[in-house]
Structure formats: structure tokens, C-alpha cells
Amino acid sequence: MKHIIRLLFIIFAVLIAIGYYFKNSGNHPKGDTLIGIAILLGSFVLMPVFIYHRWKDRKVKDYMLTNDNIQKMRDFNDDKKK
């Protein structure tokens, strides 16, 4: 999974760079198209794959503010003050 994310990021960066190269060399429609494809790739492919990879083994309940977690934070702060 890590290699797929790196490959997608490299493709994203290359498309952005080539798009800006075409845009600065005078071929604006092709440059804008490549930049747009790169942004769509980053938004709808790269970002969800990255988020899935980072959160696949975590419990969301550990990051929610429940009464138990608030009590744990208060106990931790009380122990620090002593």
C-alpha cells in the first residue's frame, strides 16, 4: 500500500509539473487539462487511499470525546499537578 501511495504521489507531482511547463510554454489548454487531471487524481484517488492506509487499524472510539475519555484526561491532568 505504501508503494502505491508513493507511486500515485509521483504521478501527481509529475502531472502538475508537466502541466505548468505546457502552460508556461504557450500551450494553455493542454497545460490546464493536465493540471486539472492531477488535481482530480489527488482529490479522488490519492487522498482516500492515503486516509484509508493511515486509519485502517485504528479505533475511532479512541479519538472521540466520550465521558470515559474526558474522565481519563481529567485524571491525567490531576496526576500531573500533584
- The 10s digit of each residue's pLDDT in 4-43 is 999 999 999 999 999 999 999 988 899 999 999 999 999 9
pLDDT at 55 over 90: no
**Structural contact between residues 31 and 22, judged by C-beta atoms closer than 8 angstroms:** yes
Please, what is the average pLDDT of the chain?
91
Instruction: Return the closest-CA partner of residue 53 out of 3, 14, 13, 10.
Output: 3
What is the residue extent of each domain of the chain? Answer: 2-81
The pTM assigned to this predicted structure is 0.70
**Structural contact between residues 53 and 6, judged by C-beta atoms closer than 8 angstroms:** no
Residue 62: the pLDDT is 76
Residue 78: the pLDDT is 83
